[in-house]
Structure formats: C-alpha cells, structure tokens
Structure 1
Amino acid sequence: MTPNRQSSSKQHPAQTQPQRIVKVAVVGSGLAGLTASYLLATLNTRCDVEYPGGNDVEFEVHVFEQASSLGMDSHSVSFTRGGEEWRVDVPMRSFQGGYYPQLIALYAHLGVRTRQTDFSYSFSTLSTTAGAEKGLKPEYNPHFIYDGASGRQGLSIPTADVRHAQGFGRLFAWISSILHTLLILGLFLRFLVLSAPFLRPAPSVTWEEWAAQSAPRGPLARWTGLTRAWDEFLAHLCIPIFSAVCTASADDVRMHPAEEFLEFNWKTFGTHHYVVADGVRDVVARLSAPLELKNVHLDSPVTSLKPDEHGDGLVDIQCGQSVYRGFAHVILATPANRAAPLVQTYAEQLARIRSTSARRTTEFAACLSRVAYRESIVVNHTDPAFLPNDAQDRRDLNMVTVAPEARHTFSEKHSPLVVAPSYTMTTHRLPRPEGRRTSPTSVDEAIYQTTNPVIPPSPDRVLSVSRLERALLTVDGKAAVRELYGPMGLQGSARRELGVGAAGIWAVGAYAAGGIPLLEGCVESALAVTVGENGIFAAEGGMVHGTLW
C-alpha cells in the first residue's frame, strides 16, 4: 500500500489557514522514521493542539528512503509453499507485554491487528562441525526446553536425558531431570528478585560484573554447589537468550550494561508475546497513509546535508544529483553510525560559514559516533538440519550455542552465511499463513528463519539472505544517549536555542531511547523528538494536550 495522494493535514479548528509551513525531512523509513512522520503529518488533524503564540504551523513532511520500498518492510520476502503464499517478516518482529507499552499503544491507535504468540524455546549446544561438513545433520545436545506462556505451560525434559535409560535407570533419569528443572526454577526466581528496580546495579555496571557480584559465595553455597549452579544458569540460559534478543555475541552480552537486561526480565515476567497479524507491511501502510505521495522519495539515498543557500537556518538534502531545499528540521532515522558522518560533514560546512550552531552540531555528531553496531545475518530456508535431532525437542524458537571448547574449530570455517561461533544461532519455525487449514504436509513445505547461523544451510535450501545492522548498547553508548535529551540535550539544539535562525537536526531509532535497542525505542524516540517537551513541535511554539494515542 502506498501513501495517499491527498495530504491528510487538516486545518486546526481555531484557524482558517495555516500561517507558516515548516518543512521536515525524515531520512530513513523504519519504524522510528515512519512514526515520526506520522506524528508530524497528523498534528493538524488533532483538536488538542495549541499554539500559545498564535502562529500556527503546518508540517510538510518529506521521507527519504534509499531502498525501493519503505524501510520497515524492505527486507521482508514472500514465498509460495504448498500452494500458499508465505509473507515472512525480516527480521522477526515480535514484542512482549510490559516492555513495549508505546509500541502496543501505537498499534492499537492505528488499528493494527496483533496475534498472541507465546513462544516456546529449546536450548541446545553444538560441539562439533563434523556432521555439517559431511552434509549430515549436526548433533545438537538439547539441555533445556521451555514450553512458553511465561512458564504457564511448564518445562519439558530433553529426550536425550531419558532415551537410553531402562528400568530403574530410566526412573532415576526422570527424577534427576525433575530435580534439575526445580533447580532451574529456583534460580530463575532468584534472578527475578534481583531484577527488581531497587536491587539493580549502577548504570555503568556490566553484565559480567553483575554476574560476579550477584553469585552466592558463602561456604554453604559453595558446599551445596549453588554457586556453580548460578554461574551455569547465567552462562547457559541467560547469555544465550540475551545474545538472541540483541543479536550480539556472548562477549558483547558480557560487556552490556546489566541494568537493561534486569529491567527486561522484570517487565516481561508473566506477559505474553505478540506479533502483528498481517505483517509489517500493514504497519507501513497505516503509518504512511497520511503522507503525500509526492513527498515520499524512494531510491533516494541521502549523501549530504548542506546549509541552504537561499534561506537562513534551513537545510538542503542532497540525494546524488538531486537537491531538495528548505528544511527547517531533519530527523535522521538511520543507524547512528551512518547518521554521524552526515552530521559531521554538515557541522564542518556550518563552521566554514561561521554559523553559531557549528559547535553543538559537532558535539551531536560525536555523540552519535559512540553508538556501537553489530551485523547480523538472517537466512530463510527449508533446511530442517537447524532443528534438534529429535522432533520432541523442537520448539518455536530453537537456540543453539557452540560449546566454548569447540569454538576454535568453528572459527576455522569460512562461509558468507555464518557468523562467529560466540553468537547464539536462533531458528524460528515459521507458522503457516493465517487461514491455512492444515499444517504442512511434508518437511519440504516448512520454512525456517535462522538468525546468525554458526553453520551454513544447504545451498539448495536457501530462500533468502539478509544482512542487517543492529545497535548494541554499551556503557559508553548508554552515556551518549543520555546527552541527547533534556533542556540542554543535543537533539535539535540549534533550533531550540537559536529559533528560526538555525535548523534542527534530530536522531531517532531503537538506540535513541532508554533500554535495549528494540522496537519500543523506535516509538519512544519518535515521540520525544516530535511531540516531546523538547521536541520539534515545542520548538515551533506548539503544545499537545491530552494523551497522544
């Protein structure tokens, strides 16, 4: 679905004609960029906006996207399997109650249908590449199976724990597995208690430091093995989960601020997982509907920002040989590592013309450059070799970590479709299209989505490959994000401090808000930059009363 040809901007009830048009460029059309565009484009349709100075504003929003389709859906793909079309979102975009209040509110406001999907998980280790090298199924060792619904469905015992036992040995294996499950439950409850807000560590404490500080170290704990059990719980369950959530390596997880992981655990406990029922293209269609088609610029990579030659305090957007002029605000909805060079080059041009906003713009670029990124690989395929060997051990999400002692053998393997063995490989068994009455009649009809493969799929079973960049929260990056906001924050500082004599440069994205860089951060940062207390609307003299959604 494409944006409407007619603008959705309507006159404010108290006026007959907008007195001032403010042009805003949004560079990038992921969730953050589209949400910011939607909020600005629909402001004049609201009855609860006010301009205390009497100088009403209409925002003319332009979206610049380097891809041929709007970004949030640009990596998604469609396949035909068993006579049915499968539309597969890339990457998988699930969200969970408790941690995503603004995202959920936005979807409800837009009328986006969501579907409760309480994922089940299997956790396995992989000790050798031998099977994969010979074209055989790798030998996974499942060690924990979680049946979903925030624990309400319980846990299952991996088949390997009881497969070869007989008689009393089988009974002993069952009892041992049950006791191990109870131990895991107790350790999780301890983890949950330590995740409470008043027990969280300082913002700069890393996960590795917190893990050492939180371990029970008393003589009784050591004698009973509780210390070792806690360390193994964090290493074999928590680190793989957070590696999958952040699409980052185990080493990155250890250096990640602990506070955000504990907050995630606390807020998501007892809540449901959701996905959008009609895929992200439905979200894209609804968010882009208020935009004028002529102001949506696809296949338009922004190469530079320049001070406008004909207007004081305005910015020109250059896309190759094309130049779009006269923007009062630029919202950079691109990864911070791509936005930073644009801002830095713009700051240098401001310095050459002795603009008073050059210094703050340079500081903004330096701030953005402190945000870390990691590449991830998402492969859609039909290769069941990525699932546990026994069908009873397979779940919705199947996580695999390479045993530490075997990582050197994996590091020696070279394939464009694999990542370092310190990542968690996660394979999602994609559900059949909504409305299909039966399950796939054969394995060949099933589609799997593997994020960060540590072994390559069979080439003849690969359907699509996407390479994505994800922001990674670090202690330094976390400090940098704090510099963006507040009365003295770097977001839009020139426009806020100097008024119409300077342009506002802003940044939105998963990284540009508190917490783990996820979808919620996209919406939060878009809200802050557009209608927040120190956002674009406030900089133009406007106020919003009442709830945003």
Structure 2
Amino acid sequence: MSLLNSPTVPSTDGSIHTNTASYKHPVGDDLLSPTEPHQHGTANSHHSHPLTEIPLKQKLRVAVVGSGLAGLTVAHILSSLHSDNGQGGVGIEVELFEKAHKLGMDAASLSVTCPCQKCALAAGRDDGDPNHEHVEGRMDVPMRSFFPEYYPNLVRLYRSIDIKFHDADNTLACFDVTFDSKPVPLASDPVSRLNHDVNIGAPYLSSRSYKVSKDHTITLPDLPPLSVFNPYPFGRRLLGYYRIARDYVRMLMVSKEFMTEGRMMEIGKDRSEWGNGRQASLREFLVNGRYSHDFAAFFVPLFACVCTCSFERMMEYPACVVLEYVARCMPFGRMQFVSSGVREVTENLSKNISKIHYNTMIEKIIEADVVADGDKKAPIILVDSNGVRRGFDHVIFATQANQAATTLAGQKASKPLPRPYVTSREEGEDESNFGRMEEHDRTDPETPRDISPESILKNHPFYNQIKILSKFPYERTQVVCHTDTSFLPKDPSAWRLLNIAKATDADILASPFDRVTAELKQQEQEQEKEQQQSIGFSIRPFFFPKSNELNQRINKAMGHDSGISSPEPHSGSSTPTSTASQSHNSAMATHIMNNTAQSLGTTTKFLQTTNPIFQPRPDTVISSAWFERAVVNPESMKAVDELYQQMEKQTDRLLAANSASLSAPFSPPSSPSSPSSSSSISDRVWFVGSYAYPGIPLLEGCVVSAVQVMERIIEAEPSHRLAPSVTAPKESFLKRDAPMRERRLRRKKEATVKENKSMEDDKEDIDNSISATYFRTAWKDTLEDERIWEEQEKARQVQEEEAAEEETRIQSKKGHFLSAVGSWTNNVYVEVAFMLLLYIAAIVQWLMVFMIESAGFDGSRWALA
C-alpha cells in the first residue's frame, strides 16, 4: 500500500503527519557497555555522580531535510534509537521535510497504464488494443540497479527492511548514432535533433550471459556469423574483441593488484613510469597506459552511464575511483534490481518516522531561544517557505550539496529543476501533481546560480560548510520513459538489457581541463624562454592567468559561463553544475524495462533512456524528468575529506559542550540541550548523501553517510544515553550493522594511536583521511560483511530447524562442507583456477552458440539473451 494512501493526519501548517504504530523490541546485548560514554571521552570521569544517576533529558528533536535514500535511511535509523542505554523508549523525535508531494526517492517513478482493451474500457477509454496483453507494474525513475560487491551497506539495509531483489543478465549492446545533418536551431528547441535525421548503426560490441554454475554467470561478447564471401566484418570484429579482451585483462590485473595492496590512490603517481606525482585522471590512465581505441569506445561510454555524466566529466574522474569499481564488481558481478520497485523501499523506511512534512521547502536556518509554536527552547530553528518556524536540536541535510549550500546561505536558486511530466498518471492521483510537457523537456532549463564562497562573509555562521559544499560539482541529466524502439538497434535480435549509444562525432577522451592547462603551461614555457633570451634570466610571466582567469577559460572550453570563480586555481570545475544530456558528448543509455520487470509483459517494449542525444517521438513519451548527479574530480575528493573532518570537529565540540553541562551539579532535569560557548549553531548541522562518501556517488554513499551521522549524534549527546542496537530486533539494520560498527570504532582508535605515535617519533604523517582509509580497506570490509552475513544466516537457519532433527543434521553437514570450501577458496591461486574453469565452461557455450548462429539458426536458447 502506498504511503500516500496510508492513514495520515493533516496539520495546520500544510504538512502531512504519518502515524507511527508502537511496537515492542526484544532486549538484546549491545556492543557498548554502560561505560561506553566514558570510552568516548565524555565528562563521566569529571563529575562525582555516575552517568546513570543523571536525569534523562527530553527527546532529541532532529530535522531531516530531503527524502531521498540518504534522508530516509538516516531518519529510519535515528527513529529506531532508544535512550537510557536502550532500556527506555525511543530517544529521538525525527521530522522529515520534503519539498515535493511525495517521498523524493520515488517521486519520479510511475505506474504503467495498461494498453489492453479490457483496461481501457474499464477506464472509460476507447483506445484499447485487443491484441495487447494485460500489463501492470511500476517503472523506477531513474533506474535503481546495483552490484552487491560495491553496495554492501545498501544490501544490508534492504535485507533488514525485507526488500527482495533479483539479479539480471549483464547483457549489453554498444552502437553509434549518426546524424545526417546538423541540428537546425529552433526558438523553442535550440539543441534538438529530429528522429528523421538519426541513423542507428549496428552494434560494434554486444554481449550475452552464459550460466556456468548455480551462482555464476559470465558475460562474453557476440561474434557476427562468419561469411565466406565477406569475411572482413567477422575479422574486424574479432580483432576489436581481441584488443578489448587484452586491455580488459590488463585493467583487471592493475586494479586488483593495487586494491589488494591498499595502494589505489597511488595509481599513476610513480614518476619512473608515466606519473606526475599527483592524482591521475582516467584520461591520463587510458592515454599513458596505451589502451586501445576499441577498448576506450566500450569502456568510457559504459562508465559514463554508471556515473551519469558527460565524457568531459568522466575524463576528469580520478583513475582510482573508477578502477576500484572495476576491481570489486568485475568479472563475476551481476546487476541487481529491487523486485517490487523503490516504492516499497520508501514505504518500509518511512514507517517509523514520527512526522513527515510534504510540500515544505526549508529556506533558511536561524538561531533563537524560543520558537513560535511553543515554549520549548531549541538551539536551531528551521524556517520554511510559508514562514513557519520549528525548533530542533540537530538538522541533517539530505539534499544535494549545492542545494544545502544555497539553503545555508539563505538564498534561492534562480530557477529550480522543472517538475517531471507524465502522460499516464496513476489511478486516484490528481493531474495537478505533475507538470505538463513543455519546452524545458526538450531543452536544458536555466542552470541555477550556485553559491560562490567569495559572496559569503567569513563571519557567516555556516561559512566553512558553504565553502566545502561549493566544491562538489554536479551535472544535469534527463531521463525519459517511452516506447520508441528507434532508440534500439534496428535488428531486434541485437536488443539487450542495456543499450548504450554515442554520437559518431563524440570525443570520448575529451577533457577541457587537461587541454586548457596544457595550453597555459605551454604559453608559460614559451614566455620564459623568450625572457631568458632577452634579459638572460627567468622571471614569472606577468600574463600568466590567475586562478579566476584559468577557471573562466576552463568554463569557456566546456561551454559554460556562470561568472562564478573558484577559490582553487586548478579545480577543474569552477561551475559546479553543467548539463550532460544536452552536450551530445555523452553516452545515451536505454534500458529495456521489460527485462527486469516481468509484470510489464512483452507486447510493448517499455524503455527508459538516460541522457538522450535525440528526442523520442512525442506520441511515445510516457514521462520525462530532470536530475542532478554529483561527479568526482580531485577537488571534490578533497572536499569529501574536508567535510568528514568538519563534522568530526563538530562532534568533538558538541561533546565537550554537552559534557561540561553534565558536570554542573544543579543541571535542570528537563532542560533540553542548548548551545554552549564552545559550540555554535553550525555544529548542529550535518550532511548526508551520495556525494559525502568516497568513491562513485551512488546509493552506497547515501547509506554509509547516514550511518556516520547517526554515530556522531550518539557520541555528541551522552546525556541522552542513546544505544544503537540494545533493543533492536535481530532483523533490523542496527543489529546487522553492529559488528561493522565495532570494526569502525576499533579502526578509528587504531588510526588515532598511529597518528599520535607518528607525531611522537617525528615521522611522516600517516594519511588517515576518509578517502585514504576507504581505498585501503573498503574491499576487505565488503568481504568481511558478506562472511558475517553468511554466518548470521547459517545461525538463523539452524535455530529455525532445531525442531526437525534430521534437517538440522543435514544443514550442519552442509555448513561444514561450505566452511571447508570457503577455507580452500581463501587461497588466491584456488580462486584464479576456479575462475579459469568457469571461463572455459562459458567459452564452450559461447563457441556452440557461434556455430549455431553461423549456420543460420537461433542460438539464444543456449545463452541468457
């Protein structure tokens, strides 16, 4: 049942409050003992009475702004925390604010209108198709696919809220799109390319999956049928596949070697090879590594689709970020999809949130003693677009970084993203909830002006946060749901789950930042040479561009001109927001939704295209929506570390202030937390989201950043005695995350010890930044998490089957056998040998399919097409 159809209580301020049912948690053992606050360095050791004698204060009030996965996750786990060391009631009252009319993670998704005649007649329409099968289901917008190897925390979250997901065959087709003529600018559609000017080429690379064991599927490329009269296409394709396979193996070896050694961030830095001593970009890795054009034509569009960005931005990605994804997900990773769609995810995560405010835009944050709606004192006040003020102890921004910076600065974007339109709305929903198909759905809307740190005074309470948040770049993308099969290869037998296209004139290795900096460096060298010849010594050329001039030239090369400069001279992206889908130098990904949602049937192909480089026929469009996606460059990687350190310092200051208030002998029992002289209003503002965690900005970062903020609030509020897993049910995320939390606390203490020892011994500082730690340990943590999950599942199975002695004995034997096999497979040589055996089995099937199709028969039954 939809959250919108659940019992709700309208409020006087226009919000919708969800009713929370009370439930009883079984009491269990927590990782932390009652003396844990002392271990965190609270004031427990500075006052005479023990912490357990301190009167428990009222519930913490926490506001979460934004209801994407990050906002829903942090609100879900905070709403599950109990006070009094877990023996009391829920210790946090969470209010969720969403500017749209429904939860953000599912806001653009839609239900498919069935085209069959029976459904049309039932709806009072006469346009039903008597030959069309009945279909029902939803389309997640955008597509929510994931690889468990890269998303261990997301998988743990889904399992804890009983979300079922299934794998899909990693079938792929890559092809080129040729335009007969240049697009003619129109007043209402300046960058569109009409369908009759578009020619779809045959795939230059396609693949199918081959099942070689119960749990393993291998994807191999397709070969065209061999023709004796014209062997050139076969030979050319075979040569291209050889180059792709060769470079793919090279990349796998490099990425896995650096990953297992914990040196991912050192890729490309070795000056003895081709390094320059700094963070290597993906373009530098591909060019200096001499990867073939055939491989780049496959690899770059594929990852431009994963990262949802243009080729220019893709080439700015640090190589370590992309190669870490390769090392963890390839070659055996399989794409997963939520079986029932993300609506179930949003419903399950929002069940225990006490209050949700829809259609509520937060415009600014102020500091005050008394709020307008009551006598409760609060250190931080939220002001919405209706002028309503609400007081909270903490505020968590679960929005994009640029949106959070705008709100903190008290400014408004010049023009927000247009609301999505749908041509087939859900039953019972008002048409006014959605926009209409307008010019902005065919063209790029005006880019909102991002906040420049130079425009913010240094005494602004959120100056440091705004300065950091402004360093995260974004690209705007369009996602269109439609039924126009002209977005697929002409031959239906070449259609795959994911169909990636690029324009023939696209420059996949384009990187304006590299071009401009190389040009400026050459000018500087020429000027120095001229001055040496004229005056005999070298001085710095006066005409060498300053930082803002460099950024303006970068923006001009990238097609942007915002007029906002960046404080860093070589940021590579002084304009945080750009547009991928209208640059036409990006990959267009078309996903056949029927392949992952059987309820959509097979009669009509329901398609979802991201970054369309030409527009579908208007009569085939179901919906259109715009999104902004964070991208990664060296500056944003540093910003992740800076944001992490900023919130760590906030935690320390709040902990010191709250501990000092606890040490006061006559502290009022019911007084809420209040700001101290050592902490400010900015210390109570936190940030979560895909951008706030190392790696590619994906759903995994949303979950992990939410967990980190939860732990910071627990640590900073010792008087509330919040415990993450004492009373949590066994199946909850808090309980499943308990072993991982213990590992995080242990690693944090070890890093502190190493850092102190390094300072005492006057050695070189050890890099304990969040990015460095992530690239050293994330892959190991994933393996450990899976092992812990398997152990928990085995224990659960044994408990459930104790009543059946025979079944228990069988399961026990099976468990011993799996344990033995697991010990064997821990050996890297055994893993390599096993991988080779699976590949041999897959190649046998692959050759059989090739011979069958060369003879003119259908070989797809032997492959998972």
Place the TM-score, normalised by the shorter chain, in its bin.
Answer: 0.7 to 0.9
Identity of aligned residues (%): 29
Of the three residues 50, 69, 87, the one matched with 2:102 is 69
Matching residue of 2:304: 243
| SS of equivalent to 1:50 | coil
Of the three residues 204, 218, 228, the one matched with 1:152 is 218
- Contact kept, 8 Å, 1:32 with 1:508, in 2: the verdict is yes
- Contact kept, 8 Å, 1:126 with 1:401, in 2: the verdict is yes
| SS of equivalent to 1:204 | coil
Q: How does 1:385-404 map to 2 (within 5 A)?
A: 385-404=486-505
For 1:344 and 1:130, locate their aligned partners in 2 and report how far apart those are by CA, in whole Å: 46
- Contact kept, 8 Å, 1:8 with 1:291, in 2: the verdict is no
Q: List per-residue Cα deviations over 1:360-387 (Å, max 9, x = no partner).
A: 7311111011111111000001101100
Of the three residues 164, 174, 191, the one matched with 2:251 is 191
For 1:243 and 1:211, locate their aligned partners in 2 and report how far apart those are by CA, in whole Å: 15
For 2:239 and 2:304, locate their aligned partners in 1 and report how far apart those are by CA, in whole Å: 27
- Contact kept, 8 Å, 1:84 with 1:433, in 2: the verdict is no
For 1:135 and 1:214, locate their aligned partners in 2 and report how far apart those are by CA, in whole Å: 40
How many residue pairs are counted as aligned between the two chains? 499
| SS of equivalent to 2:690 | coil
Matching residue of 2:391: 326
Matching residue of 1:466: 625
For 2:90 and 2:410, locate their aligned partners in 1 and report how far apart those are by CA, in whole Å: 30
For 1:205 and 1:395, locate their aligned partners in 2 and report how far apart those are by CA, in whole Å: 33
| SS of equivalent to 2:59 | strand
- Contact kept, 8 Å, 1:314 with 1:327, in 2: the verdict is yes
Q: After TM superposition, what 4+ stretches of structure 1 lie above 6 angstroms from structure 2?
A: 9-15, 54-57, 357-360
Of the three residues 70, 85, 91, the one matched with 1:50 is 85
Residue 214 of structure 1 and its aligned partner are, at CA, apart by 2.3
For 2:484 and 2:580, locate their aligned partners in 1 and report how far apart those are by CA, in whole Å: 14
Instruction: Tell me whether 1:440 sits opposite 2:617 in the alignment.
Output: no
Matching residue of 1:298: 358
Matching residue of 2:697: 517
Matching residue of 2:199: 138
Q: Which is strand-richer, 1 or 2? A: 1
For 1:156 and 1:26, locate their aligned partners in 2 and report how far apart those are by CA, in whole Å: 48
For 1:362 and 1:7, locate their aligned partners in 2 and report how far apart those are by CA, in whole Å: 41
For 2:151 and 2:405, locate their aligned partners in 1 and report how far apart those are by CA, in whole Å: 27
Moved more, 418-427 or 478-487: 478-487
Matching residue of 2:710: 530
Residue 272 of structure 1 and its aligned partner are, at CA, apart by 1.6
What's the TM-score once normalised by structure 2's chain length? 0.53
For 2:315 and 2:507, locate their aligned partners in 1 and report how far apart those are by CA, in whole Å: 19
Structure 1: gaps (5+ residues): 216-229, 347-356
For 1:240 and 1:335, locate their aligned partners in 2 and report how far apart those are by CA, in whole Å: 25
Of the three residues 340, 357, 362, the one matched with 2:463 is 362
Instruction: Tell me whether 1:376 sits opposite 2:477 in the alignment.
Output: yes
Of the three residues 421, 426, 431, the one matched with 2:589 is 426
Matching residue of 1:226: none
Quote the RMSD (CA, aligned, Å). Answer: 3.3
Matching residue of 1:309: 369
Structure 1 256/491 Cα, relative in aligned 2: closer, same or farther at 3 Å? farther
Structure 1 525/488 Cα, relative in aligned 2: closer, same or farther at 3 Å? closer
- Contact kept, 8 Å, 1:360 with 1:490, in 2: the verdict is no
- Contact kept, 8 Å, 1:19 with 1:57, in 2: the verdict is no
- Contact kept, 8 Å, 1:144 with 1:156, in 2: the verdict is yes
Residue 97 of structure 1 and its aligned partner are, at CA, apart by 1.9
Structure 1 130/385 Cα, relative in aligned 2: closer, same or farther at 3 Å? farther
- Contact kept, 8 Å, 2:72 with 2:349, in 1: the verdict is yes
Amino acid paired to 1:155? P
Residue 424 of structure 1 and its aligned partner are, at CA, apart by 0.3
Amino acid paired to 2:85? E
Residue 536 of structure 1 and its aligned partner are, at CA, apart by 1.0
Matching residue of 2:641: 482
- Contact kept, 8 Å, 2:77 with 2:710, in 1: the verdict is yes
Instruction: Tell me whether 1:264 sits opposite 2:325 in the alignment.
Output: yes
For 2:295 and 2:595, locate their aligned partners in 1 and report how far apart those are by CA, in whole Å: 34
For 2:320 and 2:286, locate their aligned partners in 1 and report how far apart those are by CA, in whole Å: 12
Of the three residues 289, 292, 299, the one matched with 1:231 is 292
Matching residue of 2:167: 116
For 1:142 and 1:435, locate their aligned partners in 2 and report how far apart those are by CA, in whole Å: 26
- Contact kept, 8 Å, 1:305 with 1:318, in 2: the verdict is yes
| SS of equivalent to 2:409 | helix
Amino acid paired to 2:610? T
Residue 523 of structure 1 and its aligned partner are, at CA, apart by 0.3
Of the three residues 4, 10, 30, the one matched with 2:68 is 30
Of the three residues 454, 464, 475, the one matched with 2:613 is 454
What's the TM-score once normalised by structure 1's chain length? 0.82
Residue 207 of structure 1 and its aligned partner are, at CA, apart by 1.0
Q: List per-residue Cα deviations over 1:235-292 (Å, max 9, x = no partner).
A: 3012101111111110101111111100000010112211100100000000000112
Structure 1 304/9 Cα, relative in aligned 2: closer, same or farther at 3 Å? farther
Q: List per-residue Cα deviations over 1:56-103 (Å, max 9, x = no partner).
A: 971010000000001110010112234322310000000002100000
- Contact kept, 8 Å, 1:19 with 1:56, in 2: the verdict is no
For 1:393 and 1:151, locate their aligned partners in 2 and report how far apart those are by CA, in whole Å: 20
Residue 547 of structure 1 and its aligned partner are, at CA, apart by 4.5
Q: How does 1:77-96 map to 2 (within 5 A)?
A: 77-81=110-114, 82=116, 83-96=134-147
Matching residue of 2:124: none
For 2:628 and 2:656, locate their aligned partners in 1 and report how far apart those are by CA, in whole Å: 33
Matching residue of 2:158: 107
Structure 1 9/365 Cα, relative in aligned 2: closer, same or farther at 3 Å? farther
Q: List per-residue Cα deviations over 1:407-452 (Å, max 9, x = no partner).
A: 9xxx99xxx996211110000111168564x9423xxx22110000
Matching residue of 1:351: none
- Contact kept, 8 Å, 1:41 with 1:60, in 2: the verdict is yes
Q: List per-residue Cα deviations over 1:219-248 (Å, max 9, x = no partner).
A: xxxxxxxxxxx2314530121011111111
| SS of equivalent to 2:619 | helix
Structure 2: gaps (5+ residues): 7-17, 28-33, 35-51, 117-133, 183-192, 211-215, 270-277, 371-375, 412-457, 509-557, 560-578, 659-673, 726-734, 739-865
Matching residue of 2:286: 211
Matching residue of 2:148: 97
For 1:243 and 1:284, locate their aligned partners in 2 and report how far apart those are by CA, in whole Å: 27
Amino acid paired to 2:586? Y
Residue 484 of structure 1 and its aligned partner are, at CA, apart by 1.9
For 1:105 and 1:395, locate their aligned partners in 2 and report how far apart those are by CA, in whole Å: 29
Moved more, 103-112 or 423-432: 423-432
